[in-house]
Amino acid sequence: MEGADKIYVGIAQHKTRVSAGLLVCSALGSCVAVCLYDLSAKIAGVVHILLPDAESSVRHDNPDKFADTGIITLIAELETLGAARKKLRAKIAGGASLFDFGPWHRKSEDGSSLALASIGEKNINAVRKTLRELGIPIMASAVGGNYGRSVYFNTENGVMLIKSARYGDKSL
């Protein structure tokens, strides 16, 4: 991957590639990087999700900000570039809970978190739900925990390299 052509994907953005190289999301905390790819067509894209759903936001001017709308926007562009939805696969990373809010971070009866501090968990759940509803399987994930990470998605072979200061590098 050293020396590979990199395209950086900022918060609440998506980027696509139809050529070999890397799509990079740096310093993911509670955000989730959703990497979608059609290996047979060599077409890939990444969306850097900030929040779980557009419905809970006052402003809806940027669909890439939300799991429910950002994934759909990315899929539409991938299909325009020649990817087949039925061949799309996903890899996801991020969704950390970086702060301990003690008693403010509590669980509901079903085990889901109720606190604002759990935005990472809410992002993960929204991404999984959206992908499931769209029929796109998740092939690998590195989500949750209490540490940040960066994603380097190789568009040629579908390998997602996760880098973290705490745990080093991991390829999925």
**What letter represents residue 89's amino acid?**
R
pLDDT in tens, 68-100: 999 999 999 999 999 999 999 999 999 998 765
What does the pLDDT average to over 146-158? 95
Active-site pick, 22, 31, 78, 119 = 31
Which among 86, 92, 94 has a CA at the least distance from the CA of 134? 86
Residue 35: active-site member = no
For residue 117, the model assigns a pLDDT of 46
pLDDT in tens, 40-72: 999 999 999 999 988 876 677 899 999 999 999
Neighbouring CB atoms inside 10 A of 50's CB total: 20
pTM of the model: 0.87
Structure tokens at 107: 């669980």
Which among 76, 99, 93, 103 has a CA at the least distance from the CA of 35? 93
